[in-house]
Amino acid sequence: MGIKAVGISKRFGDFVALDDVDLQVETGRLTALLGPSGGGKSTLLRIVGGLEDPDEGTVHIDGVEATGVPAQRRNVGFVFQHYAAFKHLSVFRNVAFGLEIRRRPKAEIRRRVHELLELVHLDQFADRLPSQLSGGQRQRMALARALAVEPKVLLLDEPFGALDTKVRKELRDWLRRLHDDVHVTTVFVTHDQEEALEVSDEIVVINNGRIEQTGSPNDLYDHPANDFVMGFLGPVTRLGERLVRPHDIEVLATDSAGAVPGEVVRLIRIGFEVRAELRTGDSAPWVQLTRGQAEALDLQPGRAVWLRPAHDASTLVAR
Amino acid sequence: MASDLLEAPVAAPAPVRPVRPRKRRLTRYALRFVAVAYVAALVAMPVVVVVWRTIDQGASTFWHAITAPDAVHAYQVTAQVAGLAVLINTVFGVGVAILLARYRFPGRSLLNVLIDVPVSISPIIVGLALVLVFGWTTGWFGPALQNAGIEVIFSTPGMVLATAFVALPLVVREVLPVLEEEGIEQEQAARSLGANAWQRLVRITLPTVKWALAYGVVLSVARALGEFGAVRVVSGDVSGQTQTLTLVVDERAEQFEPGAYQLSVVLIAVSAICIVAISLLRPRGEC
Chain A residues whose CB is inside 8 A of the B191 CB are 50-51, 70-72
* Residues B89, B31 share a domain: no
Taking only the tens place, the pLDDT of each residue in B180-216 is 999 899 999 999 999 999 999 999 999 999 989 998 9
Does A85 lie at the interface with B, CB-CB under 8 angstroms? yes
Put simply, the answer to whether B196 touches A72 (Cβ < 8 Å) is: yes
Tell me if B40 is assigned to some domain: yes
Half-sphere exposure of A272 (CA within 13 A, CB side): 2
* Residues B177, B52 share a domain: no
Nearest-angstrom CA–CA distance, A213 and B16: 60
Nearest to A97 among B190, B196, B210 (CB): B190
CA angle A123, A73, A109 (to 5 degrees): 25
pLDDT of residue A312: 81
Per the DSSP assignment, residues forming a β-bridge with A34 are A190, A205
- Stretch B27-54: mean pLDDT, rounded? 90
In B55-104, which ranges are E strands?
none
Q: List b or e across A256-282, with b for residues whose CB sees 16 or more CB atoms inside 10 angstroms.
A: eeebbebebeebeeeeeebbbebebee
Chain A residues whose CB is inside 8 A of the B207 CB are 88-89
* Residues B71, B46 share a domain: no
pLDDT of residue B286: 46
* Residue B124 main-chain phi, psi, to 5 deg: -60, -45
Answer yes or no: is pLDDT of B168 > 50. Answer: yes
* Residues B118, B45 share a domain: no
* Residues B39, B151 share a domain: no
Considering only A162-166, A203-207, B140-144, B164-168, which range has the smallest mean pLDDT?
B140-144
pLDDT of residue B18: 59
Higher pLDDT, B90 or B134: B90
* Residues B135, B71 share a domain: yes
- Quickly list H helices, B183-259: 185-192, 197-200, 206-226, 229-235, 245-254
CATH code of B228's domain: 1.10.3720.10
Tell me if B13 is assigned to some domain: no
Q: Which domain does B82 fall in, by range? A: 59-286
pLDDT of residue A147: 92
pLDDT of residue B1: 40
Tell me if B273 is assigned to some domain: yes
Tell me if B6 is assigned to some domain: no
- Stretch A140-166: mean pLDDT, rounded? 91
Answer yes or no: is pLDDT of B287 > 70. Answer: no
Tell me if B232 is assigned to some domain: yes
- The backbone region for B136, taken as left when phi is positive above 0, alpha when psi lies in -120 to 50, beta otherwise, is alpha
Tell me if B91 is assigned to some domain: yes
- Chain B residue with minimal CA distance to A93? B203
Q: List b or e across A73-100, with b for residues whose CB sees 16 or more CB atoms inside 10 angstroms.
A: ebbbbbbbbebbbbebbbbbbbbbbbbb
Taking only the tens place, the pLDDT of each residue in B243-283 is 888 888 888 888 887 788 888 888 888 888 888 888 887 65
Nearest-angstrom CA–CA distance, B66 and B70: 9
* Mutation choice for B interface testing from A52, A74, A88, A145 by most B CBs within 10 A: A88
Supply the angle between the helices B69-102 and B168-182 in degrees, to the nearest 10: 30
* Mutation choice for A interface testing from B182, B192, B209, B287 by most A CBs within 10 A: B192
Put simply, the answer to whether A77 touches B192 (Cβ < 8 Å) is: yes
pLDDT of residue B17: 61
Put simply, the answer to whether A50 touches B186 (Cβ < 8 Å) is: no
Answer yes or no: is pLDDT of B16 > 70. Answer: no
* Residues B70, B43 share a domain: no
Q: State which H helix or E strand residue A179 sits in.
A: helix A165-182
Tell me if B1 is assigned to some domain: no
Answer yes or no: is pLDDT of A7 > 70. Answer: yes
| A281/chain B closest Cα distance in angstroms | 55
Tell me if B77 is assigned to some domain: yes
Residues 6+ positions from B48 with CB-CB distance below 8 Å: none
Considering only A184-193, A246-255, B144-153, which range has the smallest mean pLDDT?
B144-153
Taking only the tens place, the pLDDT of each residue in A15-42 is 999 999 999 999 999 999 999 988 899 9
Burial zone of B284 (CB within 10 Å; 0-12 exposed, 13-18 middle, 19+ buried): exposed
* Residues B196, B149 share a domain: yes
- Chain B residue with minimal CA distance to A71? B192
* Residues B73, B43 share a domain: no
* Residues B36, B168 share a domain: no
Chain B residues whose CB is inside 8 A of the A78 CB are 188-189, 192
* Residues B143, B279 share a domain: yes
If we measure between CA atoms, which residue out of A50, A2, A51 comes closest to residue A23?
Answer: A2
pLDDT of residue B100: 93
pLDDT of residue A313: 80
If we measure between CA atoms, which residue out of A17, A22, A9, A33 comes closest to residue A186?
Answer: A33
- Chain B residue with minimal CA distance to A78? B192
- Stretch A50-64: mean pLDDT, rounded? 93
Chain A residues whose CB is inside 8 A of the B196 CB are 72
* Residues B269, B228 share a domain: yes
- Chain A residue with minimal CA distance to B207? A88
Taking only the tens place, the pLDDT of each residue in A241-298 is 888 899 999 999 888 888 889 999 999 988 889 999 999 888 889 999 998 888 888 8
Chain A residues whose CB is inside 8 A of the B190 CB are 86, 97
Into how many domains does chain B fold?
Answer: 2
Chain A residues whose CB is inside 8 A of the B188 CB are 51, 71, 78, 80, 84
Q: Judging by DSSP bridges, how do beta strands A273-280 and A286-290 pair with one another?
A: antiparallel
Put simply, the answer to whether A97 touches B207 (Cβ < 8 Å) is: no
Answer yes or no: is pLDDT of A139 > 70. Answer: yes
pTM for the model stands at 0.80
Answer yes or no: is pLDDT of B72 > 90. Answer: no
Nearest to B185 among A75, A77, A82 (CB): A82
pLDDT of residue B4: 44
Answer yes or no: is pLDDT of B11 > 60. Answer: no
B interface with A, Cβ–Cβ < 8 A, is: 185-186, 188-196, 199, 203-204, 207-208, 210
- Stretch B148-160: mean pLDDT, rounded? 81
